[in-house]
Amino acid sequence: MEEGPSNILNKKTMSWITITQIILSVLIVTAILLQPRGMGLGSAFGGDSTLYYTRRGLERVLYLATIVLIVLFGILSLIGLRFS
């Protein structure tokens, strides 16, 4: 079976999407592990939640970067469905 130009483009696109998803997943895991313990939803299940806490500085940047990375990963996953 001969490969047409659109089939080659789909393979290149999927390869690019897969590599980008791997990089994003490593960045997401790193960003989550760098965040301080006991913050957020984890405190609802026995973590330390005695005060309302405002994130500042690097901690806030890391928190927002984690959200952005997760959203990008989700968008790439949906795009990957289109080309699979």
pLDDT in tens, 4-63: 666 776 788 888 999 999 999 999 999 999 988 765 555 555 555 556 667 788 889 999
- Residue 36 belongs to some domain of the structure: no
Ranking 19-23, 45-49, 68-72, 76-80 by mean pLDDT, the lowest is 45-49
Q: Domain total for the chain?
A: 1
Predicted local confidence at residue 20, as pLDDT: 95
Domain assignment present for 28: no
Its domain, for residue 62, covers: 57-84
65-71's contacts with Cβ under 8 Å and 24+ in sequence apart are 65/31, 66/28, 66/31, 66/32, 66/35, 69/24, 69/27, 69/28, 69/31, 70/28
Q: Tell me whether residue 67 is in a domain.
A: yes
Q: Is residue 75 part of a domain?
A: yes
pLDDT exceeds 90 at position 70: yes
Q: Is 22 within the bounds of a domain? A: no
Q: Is residue 23 in a domain? A: no
The yes-or-no verdict on residue 77 having pLDDT over 80 is yes
In a domain, 78, yes or no: yes
Whether 21 is in a domain gets the answer no
